[in-house]
Structure 1
Amino acid sequence: MQQDQTSSSVPAVQLPVMLVADLQDSLLVVVHDLNRLDGLLAHTMENLMERFTLASAHLEDPVLGNSAVLESVRDTLRSAVTELQFQDLASQLIVHTSKILQGCAYRLASESMGQEDGEAVPFVEEVPERPNPVTQDEMDAGSIELF
């Protein structure tokens, strides 16, 4: 790799086009994989919520009565449902990371290969300025953090 000075005195590194293309492809594969992961998490959370809702409904059956053990199981189930909110946080992180990676891939291609006449430029939202859209790192019942 060679380093040269551009006319505006900004250092630049020349990279082989195939290296840039491979790197761009790899970044876009990661974006695709992150989107698949987001879908898997969403599907799993939907299934878990259905099962927890069903279990909770069964635990409310008056036939079971109100023993201390049963109340402990109900509390544990309510806590588990609260902890499922992590899917929303994970989804936000996945979307944020995907946007950054996709923006990097398109910028890398644009900067290194330029644009050919008549070639459509893929639409990419601006790369998010905030390094982390989710600042919450734990879940407690009854607490809400707006961001």
Structure 2
Amino acid sequence: MQSSMGSDAPSSVQLPVMLVADVQDSLLVVVHDLSRLDGLLAHTMENLMERFTSASASLADPALQASPELDLVRSTLRAAVTELQFQDMASQLITHTSKILQGCAYRLASESMGMEDGEAVPFVEEVPDRPNPVTQDEMDAGSIELF
């Protein structure tokens, strides 16, 4: 008969402190890079929206006569604006991934190195339970499902 003593204890792996510190630093660098990527996407989307709005306003000029070609261009612009919703979904994914990576970095540090007396505990939101906050996988007018 086997003894169950010690079977309830979580298993652990000893890692060198420098390795843990390097992994934590790398995770936090990735979080920073994801934040920069989110900002770049937001800036690009703002610029695209301005350009699409300007183009659409130019095409709405009454001086232009209605033609099938112009109607096709207008329709294409409307579809392109709808597709810009991907920035919102990308931003949600970046935020979600950043929270997970940041949570992993701080958990790794606290579990492997422990906290010293008087050391401030870094504020980290809880790691999200859902594996993916965005379930949309295609863009059609009126068919977005974000949550």
Shift of 1:145: 2.0
Regions of 4+ moved over 3 Å? none
Q: Which residue in the other structure is 2:13 paired with? A: 13
**Structure 1: segments with no counterpart, 5+ residues:** 1-5
Q: Which residue in the other structure is 2:26 paired with? A: 26
Mapped to 2, the partners of 1:134 and 1:76 lie a distance apart of 25
Mapped to 2, the partners of 1:9 and 1:60 lie a distance apart of 70
Does residue 80 of the first structure (1) align with residue 107 of the second (2)? no
Mapped to 2, the partners of 1:41 and 1:51 lie a distance apart of 15
Q: Is the 8 A contact 2:136 2:144 kept in 1?
A: no
Secondary structure in structure 2 of the residue aligned to 1:62: coil
Does residue 137 of the first structure (1) align with residue 141 of the second (2)? no
Q: Which residue in the other structure is 2:39 paired with? A: 39
TM-score, length basis structure 2? 0.93
Q: Which residue in the other structure is 1:111 paired with? A: 111
Report the aligned-residue RMSD. Answer: 1.3
- For residue 61 of structure 2, what is the amino acid of its counterpart? D
Bigger proportion of residues as strand: 1
Mapped to 1, the partners of 2:92 and 2:146 lie a distance apart of 13
Deviations along 1:66-93, one digit per CA (max 9) or x if unpaired, are: 0000000000000000000000000000
Deviations along 1:25-60, one digit per CA (max 9) or x if unpaired, are: 000000000000000000000000000000000000
Secondary structure in structure 2 of the residue aligned to 1:65: coil
Mapped to 2, the partners of 1:139 and 1:29 lie a distance apart of 31
Kindly tell me: are residues 87 and 28 of structure 1, through their superposed partners in 2, closer, same or farther at Cα, counting changes over 3 Å? same
Give the total of aligned pairs. 142
Shift of 1:8: 5.1
**Structure 2: segments with no counterpart, 5+ residues:** 1-5
Q: Which residue in the other structure is 1:71 paired with? A: 71
